[in-house]
A and B are shown apart, each in its own frame.
Chain A
Amino acid sequence: MIVPLVHVLVLAAVLFILGLVCVLVWRRNLIMILIGIEIMLNAAMLVFVGGAARWGTADGQVFALMIVAMTSAEVSLALALVVYLHRRKKTVNADEFSEMKG
Chain B
Amino acid sequence: MEQTIFYILAAVTVIATQFAITERHAVHAIVYLVTSFFSLAVIFYLLGAPLVAVFEVIIYAGAIMVLFLFVIMMLDLGHPEKAARPGGRDWWPAILLGAVTLCSIVVLVAAHPPVVPVGASFGIRDFAFVLFRKYGIAVEIISLQLLFALVGALYLGKRR
Contacts and interface: CB of A to CB of B under 8 A. Distances in A.
B119 A54 contact: yes
Contacts of B134: 59, 62
A61 B13 CA distance: 20
Interface of A: 1-8, 10-11, 13-15, 17-22, 24-29, 31-32, 34-36, 38-39, 42, 45-46, 49-50, 52-59, 61-62, 64-66, 68-77, 79-84, 86, 92-93
A15 B13 contact: yes
Interface in B13-69: 13-14, 17-18, 20-21, 26, 29-30, 33, 36-37, 40, 43-44, 46-49, 51-52, 55-56, 59-60, 63-64, 67-68
Contacts of B93: 24
Given A28-B84, A31-B77, A39-B33, 11 more contacts: A1-B117, A11-B10, A13-B101, A18-B17, A45-B56, A49-B49, A54-B119, A59-B134, A64-B49, A65-B131, A76-B150
Contacts of A1: 47-48, 116-119
A17 B21 CA distance: 11
Looking at chain B's contact residues, the main secondary structure is helix
Interface in B111-131: 112, 114-122, 126-127, 129-131
